[in-house]
Amino acid sequence: MKSFKILPKHVIQLLARLGIVLILMTITRIIFYIANSASFNGVSFTDFIAGIWMDCISIGIWFIPFYGLSLLPLPFVRHKFYKILLKLVFVITSIIMIGLNLLDVEYYKYTAKRSTADLFTIVTAGNDINQLLGTFITDFWWLILLFILAIVAFLWMYNKTNKITGEDDQFNYLNRTIHFFLFSALLFIMGRGGFGYRPADMLTASQLTRPENTALVLNTPLSIIKTIGKASLQEVKFFESESKYIYNPVNDLDNSFKKEKAPNVMVIILESFGNEWLGKKTGGPYTPFLDSILDESLYFSNAWANGKKSIEAVPAIFASIPSLLDNPYISSHYGTNSINALPKLLKEKGYETAFYHGATNGSMKFDVFAAHAGFDHYFGRTEYNNEDHTDATWGVLDEYFMPWTARSMTQELKEPFMTGMFTLSSHHPYFVPKEHRSILPDGPHPMAKSTAYGDMSLRLFFEEAQKQPWYNNTVFILCADHTPAGTSERYWQRIGMYQIPIAIFDPRNKIEAKNEDQLFNQIDIAPTVLDIIGYDEPFYAFGNSYFESVKTPFAINYISNTYHYVEGSYMLNFVDDESTGLYNYKIDTLMQYDSLKYYPSLVQEMENRLKGIIQRYNHDLINNDMRVK
């Protein structure tokens, strides 16, 4: 303790209390790693040291009120009631920080990133959190127990610090004032990450480790506080306006379908149907019906999602807008931008449109976006109007809602029509009705049986759809919204976590059924549909029609400050305006062999194309310029 005698007792007490939080933050990081270890590559001791530094930064920010009050150079800081106030500030701040870190122990499995400020937007979008609260408590009781133990621990340790008297024999205003400014400044500097020109943020973590390990080095309190009130996008100018690399999202199709009778179109979005559970990919028994449909479809076996959340999939699929920002597009500042989405464009050609989703109306703001995108009708739990068929959490069970959708389309819509149907049940809490549990196959994770239930419901839908008068003139687009929480290292990595099935099933047999290895992602769906129905006017889309060979096929997504750009056989990682990794995703699915330094010309070409997309994307979203004028 001799080395500490140069420090005033109240400063030693303050540092001891902040040290308590640092210890608990480190423990929660270890728990986070144990629960999600398969998603990280090449983790070393230095990653945890970097994590401690990021925790220090978080403490320096979140505890500004606490250390400001602790160092206040006024006599009443010794008063009993002031000490109670000080403890209250400590407890509240600690509860929030530890709670947020523990939240991501499980939530990370579904989002593959540390939560940001959009968490609050998603939580308040609809009534989902209230409906799922009981399920969360049941399934994640052990996290709640850890949370309670953490509270008990930091309260016990805080009380121990009271033995460090914190009171000098005589209250010295001058010394206290010097200590206030000196140590407040030092802690504040710690909170900004040092003396650098730019304060530390989430990008700082990306610079301290491999991109795929960023979430391990980061902590949730920092990622949230750094994204609250942050402008989602900033204009970038990688190229001059006339550069060939600036992406042009204006499409003008020259298709071979113009002479065909315009078909009905139905987009079926399969909740969490990632490749990990697809029989066509793994040989598993969970999707026999979908596998059979894929055999009769134009099946894109090299298909990618543009995000990790349902709320990111809907604008990608229906408006060809990827979510290349920290907030999902729907809940971002740009969610009300003027767009010409697929329903609006088809309405111009005489189509009636409807969106079907069995969840509680308002869930994920799908009803709001559906109206904004131009859908004429929205059918949800309210319109289905039978609570006996619900799962008591999300909404109407798929086995009831999906066949009902087929009948509703006959009753409610006139041909030609375009509909979207978003399935529901293959999602946490993975509810499967009791009468099906012994029949459907088990697997290593509850998602297996839940997927099998979703596949069974898809079969019931098609059995009902085949009875309808519109079936033989309808083209079906089937795709997953995103992948579920992975259960193997292959599907935890940033390649497998985006790979999904997408297919075009055409009962008319006008579109050839085959297994297509060409790159295809969700933003390509809307342009492809417009091609199929013979759309003959320019339109705005970041994706491309499969039937057009003018542009190079690519896939793109964004997570935790990292862009992933996929082209040919390679995926490029791009962080803070520079390329940080290049992987052959077809053979190096675990991302173990970085080829960045071996193919400089390929890296430069891919980087230029990605920069051109980012430059156009940011400009058009910021300036509300996402329509053909």
Return the closest-CA partner of residue 495 out of 524, 477, 519: 519
Token reading at 134: 């009981």
Tell me the whole-structure pTM to 2 decimals: 0.85
Q: How many CB atoms lie within 10 A of CB 455?
A: 26
Between CA 522 and CA 305 the distance in angstroms is: 6
Q: Which SS3 state, helix, strand or coil, does residue 220 take?
A: helix
Between CA 456 and CA 398 the distance in angstroms is: 9
Between CA 52 and CA 56 the distance in angstroms is: 6
Q: Which SS3 state, helix, strand or coil, does residue 269 take?
A: strand
DSSP string, 297-350: SEEEEEEE-S-SSHHHHHHHHHH-----SSS-GGGSTTTTS-B--HHHHHHTTT
Placement of tokens 């990081």 in the chain: 29
Return the closest-CA partner of residue 569 out of 547, 551, 550, 585: 585
Question: Over the range 190-207, which residues count as b (16 or more CB within 10 Å of their CB) and which as e?
Answer: bbebeeeeeebbbbbbbe
Q: What is the pLDDT of residue 3?
A: 43
Token reading at 480: 């997953």
Between CA 316 and CA 321 the distance in angstroms is: 5
Return the closest-CA partner of residue 495 out of 613, 581, 604: 581
Between CA 5 and CA 1 the distance in angstroms is: 7
Between CA 211 and CA 400 the distance in angstroms is: 43
* CA–CA–CA angle 7, 10, 14 (5° rounding): 95
Q: What is the pLDDT of residue 4?
A: 46
Q: Which SS3 state, helix, strand or coil, does residue 628 take?
A: coil
Token reading at 8: 């005033």
* CA–CA–CA angle 618, 341, 415 (5° rounding): 170
Q: Let me know if 149 is exposed, middle or buried by CB neighbors in 10 A (0-12, 13-18, 19+).
A: exposed
Cis peptide leading into 263, omega within 30 of 0? no
Strands 514-516 and 298-304: parallel
Contact 127, 362 (CB under 8 A): yes
Where the chain has pLDDT below 50, the residues are 1-4, 166
Placement of tokens 């070393």 in the chain: 44
Between CA 115 and CA 108 the distance in angstroms is: 8
Token reading at 493: 């990595």
Q: What is the pLDDT of residue 253?
A: 84
Contact 346, 327 (CB under 8 A): no
Between CA 601 and CA 294 the distance in angstroms is: 37
Q: What is the pLDDT of residue 563?
A: 96
Cα 216 from chain centre: 16
Contact 420, 267 (CB under 8 A): yes
Cis peptide leading into 211, omega within 30 of 0? no
Q: What is the pLDDT of residue 85?
A: 93
Between CA 478 and CA 615 the distance in angstroms is: 31
| H-type alpha helices, 496-551 | 525-532
Between CA 541 and CA 522 the distance in angstroms is: 11
Indicate left, alpha or beta for 200 from its phi (over 0: left) and psi (-120 to 50: alpha).
beta
Q: What is the pLDDT of residue 136?
A: 67
Contact 50, 58 (CB under 8 A): no
Q: What is the pLDDT of residue 5?
A: 57
DSSP 260: S
Structural domains in the chain, CATH included, are 2-225 (no CATH), 250-545 (3.40.720.10)
Between CA 349 and CA 127 the distance in angstroms is: 36
Q: What is the pLDDT of residue 132?
A: 55
Q: How many CB atoms lie within 10 A of CB 139?
A: 15
Return the closest-CA partner of residue 161 out of 16, 59, 21, 23: 16
CA distances from 617 to 120, 203, 320, 624 (A): 25, 20, 12, 10
